Every structure is written in C-alpha cells, then in structure tokens.
C-alpha cells in the first residue's frame, strides 16, 4: 500500500479525528485518512500515533472502555515545529518575491506567506536585520500581457485549453493552445505549448481576449520533456528547431574562480585547467544569446575551441564588430 510522504498532513488529520472526542479506533482513523486521500496501513498508523506522543508530546491515550483513542487533555494543541532555519528560509522567500511585485499574478503570494508566518506566531518584525532591506533584486517591470499570467498558469495546472487572439506586427489570428510552460526571458513572458499537434510559442504581450476552456487535454510527458530540455540548453529564448552542440571554451586562468561558480547552462563541466586557462565544455544552443553571455563579455580572455562552425561564428561576429571601428 503506498504511504503518503507527507507525515505532517497525516498527523494533522489524526489530530482532527482525536479532537472530536468520539474515541475513534485505528480502523476508523484509517478510514478517515483514506477518505482524505492518505491511505495508510494499521502499522503505519500506530507509528504515527507513537511519533505524535514522543516527538510532539501529544497526550494520546487508548480508552479501553470506549475502545478508541483520545487526548487525555482537551486543551492539547498539535503544532508542526518550525526551526530557526525554516524561518530564515521563509524570510528569504518573502524578500525574493519583491522582484515580482509588479506582476499581477504574484501579488497575493507575499500576503499568503505573511499569513502563514502570523499563523505560526512568528513575529514579522522580530529581527533588526529585517528592519532594513538587505537583499536587492532588479524588479520585474510591468509588462504588457501580465494580466494573463494567472489564467495561463491555472490552465497549465488543470490541463485546460486556452483560446485567444494573437496580434502580430502583420496580422491578427485566433488560436487554441494546449499550454505546457510559462517562460520569462529578458523581461517578457511567453507561453509554450502545442497547437494542432505542433509546438507553438506566443508572447503574452501580443495576446488579447484570452479565455480558458473547460475541455481537458491529455498531458504528453515526452512533449513536456522536450520543452524542458530545450529551455535548459538555451541561454536565450526557447526555439523548438534549434540544435544544440557540445562547445569547448577556454577562459584566462584569472577568471577561474568566476567560471567554476558560474552556471551558463544546466549541462556544463570543467574539462581541463592549467597555469594559463580553464576550459569548460557545455551542451548548448549556439545562438546570439550564447555569444552575449558566455563569450563576448570576456573579451580577449575567452576563446572558443570548437566545434569549428562555432569558432567561425565567433570570428564573423568579431570581424563585423572590428569593421565598425575601421579607419576611413
């Protein structure tokens, strides 16, 4: 029998059952948990009761007369422990959410976390270090199409089609899309999905009149994996048609510490290092974003070793840039 991996949720349901004072048996508690979607065995349930007694000091007793379980103290209060590390993590999450403060779909998240903090009786002003802002992110600017984020997100989670008009520079077209992923790139949001069996991508800033349908599409795990893998391999905007390659780049040894800690893509590793340079190999889509992030910012301290077409691409870009400064 599969057992819920969330013991605290089971503990909370057990607590609710015992608090009713009707002396539920193990079998009844088991049925109550199963009705809530948390199937457990009797042995697991016995271990849960013992954990609640020993770890959380809950006064759980077995009443022989009523042949069931109850609290010996009606004022007993079950509380999930929150460590200092948990509190710090929540605080960092709250602070990081400031980067989304201008995006309408995320405005309620901070208040929700603050309500959780209050429910756990954690003082929101408890530390001087948080009296002033100590983490600064570049705020996400207000952008056209931000009003569609929440609806598209809900449609993705529920596997619902979305219907909208797309206003390109040349025309207006109507679309029915199976949405799979929301992607942010360079301050703009995109929805990636499948339309008429083919992959499709649309910028939210050009979407008008979006509505979520009631029909449910069958989520294709293989199709989703293609999207995820493509995003992880690209430094720029996701492109279904783009090909990825294993690229080797050498950086001056003075940049070694920065390069070791920098994550250009999900698939990279250091392949060699000597007194002059550090060389990394990365599986990446070779596009303009690759040049702008992994090569050009490092000037003469970066060198692409291969493949050959990648070397040629960098050479062409640098020659064109040099020609901009040719003496007349």
In this prediction, residues 213-232 reach a mean pLDDT of 88
More confident: 242 or 185 = 185
Please state which CATH number belongs to domain 7-71. Answer: 1.10.10
Tell me, letter by letter, the H, E, C secondary structure of 163-187: EEEEECCCCEEEEEEEEEEEEEECC
Please state which CATH number belongs to domain 146-219. Answer: 2.30.30
Q: Which residues contact 318 (CB under 8 A, 6 or more apart)?
A: none
CA distance 155 to 160: 5
> Are the CB atoms for 286 and 264 separated by under 8 Å?
no
The DSSP output letter for 146 is G
Phi-psi region of 14 (alpha: psi -120 to 50; beta: other; left: phi over 0): alpha
More confident: 274 or 85 = 274
CA distance 62 to 245: 65
pLDDT value at 233 more than 60:
yes
Q: Where are the alpha helices (DSSP H) in the chain?
A: 7-19, 26-35, 42-54, 84-96, 107-119, 149-158, 221-233, 256-261, 288-290, 308-323
Per-residue pLDDT tens over the stretch 106-128: 656 666 666 665 655 555 554 44
pLDDT value at 321 more than 80:
yes
Give the distance between the most distant pair of CA atoms in the chain. Answer: 104
Of these ranges, 102-111, 168-177, 229-238, 257-266, the one predicted with the greatest mean pLDDT is 168-177
CA distance 37 to 53: 24
Instruction: Give the number of other CB atoms < 10 A from CB of residue 191.
Output: 26
pLDDT value at 264 more than 60:
yes
Instruction: Give the number of other CB atoms < 10 A from CB of residue 259.
Output: 24
Which residues is 282 bridged to in the sheet? Answer: 247, 268
pLDDT value at 130 more than 50:
no
pLDDT value at 274 more than 90:
yes
- Provide the CB-side half-sphere exposure for 65 (13 A, CA): 2
Which residues is 269 bridged to in the sheet? Answer: 281
Task: Give the rounded distance of the alpha carbon of 295 from its chain centre.
Answer: 28
Of 261, 249, 265, give the one whose Cα is nearest residue 297.
249
pLDDT value at 257 more than 70:
yes
Backbone angles phi, psi at 303, to 5 degrees: -145, 125
Residues comprising the chain, all counted:
328
Of 187, 298, 182, 315, give the one whose Cα is nearest residue 250.
298
The dihedral built from the CA positions of residue 115, 119, 125 and 130, taken in this order, carries a sign that is negative
- For the chain, what is the mean pLDDT? 82
Lowest mean pLDDT among 8-17, 50-59, 99-108, 209-218: 99-108
C-alpha pair distances (Å), 285 with each of 53, 141, 194, 265: 55, 27, 21, 10
**Nearest-5° Cα angle at 61, 55 to 62:** 130
pLDDT band at 280 (very low <50, low <70, confident <90, very high): very high
The DSSP output letter for 292 is I
């Amino acid at each position: 029998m599969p057992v819920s991996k969330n013991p605290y949720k089971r503990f909370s349901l057990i607590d609710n059952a015992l608090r009713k004072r009707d002396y539920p048996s193990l079998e009844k508690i088991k049925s109550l948990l199963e009705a809530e979607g948390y199937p457990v065995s009797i042995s697991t349930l016995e271990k849960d009761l013992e954990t609640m007694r020993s770890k959380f000091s809950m006064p759980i007793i077995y009443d022989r007369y009523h042949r069931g379980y109850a609290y010996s103290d009606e004022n007993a209060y079950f509380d999930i422990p929150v460590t200092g590390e948990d509190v710090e993590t929540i605080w960092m999450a709250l602070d990081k959410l400031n980067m989304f403060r201008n995006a309408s779909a995320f405005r309620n998240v901070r208040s929700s976390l603050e309500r959780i903090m209050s429910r756990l009786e954690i003082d929101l002003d408890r530390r001087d270090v948080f009296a002033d802002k100590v983490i600064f992110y570049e705020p996400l600017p207000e952008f056209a199409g931000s009003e569609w984020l929440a609806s598209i997100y809900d449609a993705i989670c529920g596997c619902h089609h979305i219907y909208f008009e797309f206003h390109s520079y040349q025309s207006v077209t109507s679309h029915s899309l199976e949405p799979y992923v929301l992607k942010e790139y360079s301050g703009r949001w995109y929805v990636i999905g499948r339309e008429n069996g083919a992959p499709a991508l649309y910028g939210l800033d050009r979407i008008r009149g979006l509505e979520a349908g009631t029909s449910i599409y069958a989520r294709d795990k293989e199709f989703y994996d293609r999207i995820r893998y493509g995003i992880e391999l690209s430094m720029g905007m996701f492109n279904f048609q783009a090909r990825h390659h294993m690229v080797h780049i050498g950086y001056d040894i003075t940049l070694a510490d920065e390069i070791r800690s920098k994550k250009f893509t999900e698939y990279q590793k250091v392949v060699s290092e000597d007194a002059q340079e550090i060389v990394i190999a990365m599986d990446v889509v070779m596009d303009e974003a690759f040049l702008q992030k992994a090569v050009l910012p490092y000037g003469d301290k970066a060198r692409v070793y291969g493949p050959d077409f990648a070397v040629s691409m960098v050479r062409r870009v640098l020659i064109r840039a040099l020609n901009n400064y040719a003496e007349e």
